[in-house]
Amino acid sequence: MAVSDHVDLPTFIAGVSKRNPGQPEFVQAVTEVAEDIYDFIGDKEQYHKYQILRRIAEPDRVISFRVCWEDDAGNIRVQRGWRVQNNNSIGPYKGGIRFHPSVTESVLKFLAFEQTFKNALTGLPMGGGKGGSNFNPKGKSSNEVMRFCQSFMTELYRHIGADVDVPAGDIGVGGREIGYMFGQYKRITNEFTGVLTGKGLEWGGSLIRTEATGYGATYFLLEMLKTKGKDLVGLNAVISGSGNVATHAAEKVNQLGGKVLTLSDSEGYIYDPEGITQDKVNWVKELKNKRRGRISEYVKEFTGAQFHGGGARPWAVPCDVAMPCATQNELNGDDAKLLIKNGCFAVSEGANMPTDLKGVHVFKDAKILFAPGKAANAGGVAVSGLEMSQNSSRISWKEEDLQKMLIDIMQGIHKSCVEYGGSAGSDHIDYVKGANIAGFKKVADAMLAYGVV
């Protein structure tokens, strides 16, 4: 066996494609990681011998199930639910649940694969998983969302547990949905345990979990800027999305002295040349969380702003820094070139895989500061990990302590990226490579300890 069993990168990717037909997002995520890992493991025979990369790219299990629910008009609706348990080598499976019509097995497999590396980077003991459904919460009443969540959990509960697999929120799943799912879990099992994170503060949640992803992505951006002797003061930021991650990124950019020019949703983006200040961010939070409205409504409230519809994305707006915080593949190679042409020199991904493979190569080749989601957006799952610790010991930590822990964790991830993403004779840091290798190494070494399982 050993090295003779090892195939070259194109053959490895061809094998992943063949084994996962019709799953382009999953193949894309594996390709991006494998490009870096292949260089790293070139001279490390044990990783080949034990087929570590091949094994991480094969989920431990994919659970798929039917979710039936009744809408307000009495119609029976049928959705598909999944939980992908990718790897639990360094801790219980951990990762969000996404409710969006675009959810497929491919999307959840890519997210669970990415989560495995991200969670390792946090330094906390969490494996990688992801789940969700093609259910579309938009336009549904709260009672419909509740019935759906209850039905979803009625199957999911048997596959999860505080020491087994701990889901949380993601696109379309926030505090309301976690509440409905936790309530159903508790009802079925008669147990109050830390089986979900992102819970309300009154029932086991952690302070700053809601803010952590957007704040963390901005802290990571700041760490990158510091390597160039800069900070965020006076910089123009273009942000996509208008949900949990985008609004909290915008909030932290404002706090650190930057100016936020854009936000978006699936219908288009708003551009506010005067800046999306904190009171405007608060208005967007209220719009999205309470009224469940659309970002286009912003221009009726703040008349100096423009709305660009037709699903337009904000990358043509000139900026210093960009934070894609909506969804996967929302920034392509041409967008990346345009951003750089217009003067953008730092990109911090709040979303998971928002930049497609061509875009990643454009950023890497241009050697700008570019933080991949698995490093930059790890603050959310990190505070989820802290929520698990608080639940296990039945205590609640203070906000200032948690804020400090979040900053420490983001700085620690930055340090790992510098350690593995630097190259001799250059001060450029390849954060994609650094994050991939640092995350891989931790999981891989645990897998080696277990032998062939």
Residues marked active site are found at 130
**Cβ nearer to ligand NDP, comparing 133 with 213:** 213
Interacting stretch for ligand NDP, rule CB under 6 A, among 15-23, 52-60, 121-129, 260-268?
Answer: 260-268
What's the CA dihedral at 235, 241, 246, 251 to 10 degrees? 60
- Burial (CB < 10 A; 0-12, 13-18, 19+), residue 215, is buried
- Minimum CB–partner distance for residue 307 and ligand 2IT (Å): 28
- Please calculate the CA angle 47-110-219 and round it to the nearest 5 degrees: 90
Element (H, E) at 321: strand 321-323
Contact partner, 244, from ligand 2IT, ligand NDP, none, Cβ < 5-8 Å per class: ligand NDP
Chain residue whose CB lies nearest ligand NDP: 243
Whole-angstrom distance, CA of residue 404 vs CA of residue 406: 5
Whole-angstrom distance, CA of residue 251 vs CA of residue 331: 22
Contact partner, 350, from ligand 2IT, ligand NDP, none, Cβ < 5-8 Å per class: ligand NDP
Contact partner, 106, from ligand NDP, ligand 2IT, none, Cβ < 5-8 Å per class: none
Binding of ligand NDP by 346 (CB under 6 A): no
- Minimum CB–partner distance for residue 226 and ligand 2IT (Å): 24
Contact partner, 265, from ligand 2IT, ligand NDP, none, Cβ < 5-8 Å per class: ligand NDP
Whole-angstrom distance, CA of residue 31 vs CA of residue 205: 36
Contact partner, 95, from ligand 2IT, ligand NDP, none, Cβ < 5-8 Å per class: ligand 2IT
**Cβ nearer to ligand NDP, comparing 131 with 241:** 241
**Cβ nearer to ligand 2IT, comparing 124 with 146:** 124
By three-state DSSP, how is residue 178 classified?
Answer: helix
Closest to 266 measured CA to CA, from 299, 309, 315: 309
Whole-angstrom distance, CA of residue 330 vs CA of residue 266: 10
Whole-angstrom distance, CA of residue 94 vs CA of residue 164: 9
Touching ligand NDP, residues 88-107 (CB under 6 A): 100, 102
Applying CB under 6 A, the residues found at the interface with ligand 2IT are 94-96, 115, 118, 168, 170, 197, 352, 380-381, 384
Binding of ligand NDP by 136 (CB under 6 A): no
Touching ligand NDP, residues 401-440 (CB under 6 A): none
What's the CA dihedral at 100, 220, 404, 327 to 10 degrees? 0
**Cβ nearer to ligand 2IT, comparing 171 with 284:** 171
